[in-house]
Amino acid sequence: MPELPEVETSVQAIQKFKKQNIESIEIFNPNLRWRVDSQDFQKLHGKKVLNITRRAKYIMINFGEFDILIHLGMTGTLRITDKYSNLYKKHDHVELIFETEKIIFNDPRRFGSFHFISNLENHFLLNSLGPEPLSKQFDGAYLFNKIKKSKSPIKNALMNQKNVVGIGNIYANEILFDAKIRPTRKCKTLTKKENMQIVESTKKILKLAIKAGGTTLQDFYQPDGNKGYFKIDLMVYDRAGKYCLFCKKEIIARIIQAQRATFFCKKCQG
């Protein structure tokens, strides 16, 4: 699933459509996680894009009084093509057509979503989200106070979007390896210093991943068609049975937490 770095990379790639007028919106298949209402989107024809931003794992395209909210889901991608290109790919769902180019939303597994919103602040997908991990609000004191009474494993807490947004399975593994914290540690056992280290590692790993263009494993591609290259820098994720790249002595272990694969080094994350 695309996580914060992949979504941020997509947002950066479509910034060139800011201040452009959207000529029309074509909906080929409305069947996503929530059915796309084609009548609502017709209200945006001829409207100017005022801003393109990200909140958590959501892409937001603002037209003033209205917004488009996009979630890439498990396998969703955006791609940019020439306006007059008639190349249709299987699982293309929506086209946003501009003066010379268009943005196409493709989602094979249909877990993504495409929303027309007139009240962004109170939307049910956004109104209970935690702070952005790269913001000043997300610091060691915040994280310590937020999870100090929790019996949940720290990896689960990092992936809880009410605690902090944008972190999924890949980056939770990488963050905790960088912080030298075992993913199974219960939140309430973590010291203030350890929480500070987790926050520092979070910001470090996410910034590196954004700079590299995200992580390509099976499904993620940038809107220009390029792959994300952070995969070459992954230290533990999907490296079960291989020697740790840091200590070079321990084999990377793999366990299941909350139905998701967890990878860690028993020596480095003791």
Tokens of 109: 């597994």
Pairwise CA distance, residues 57 & 229, whole Å:
19
Which residues are catalytically annotated?
Answer: 2-3, 57, 260
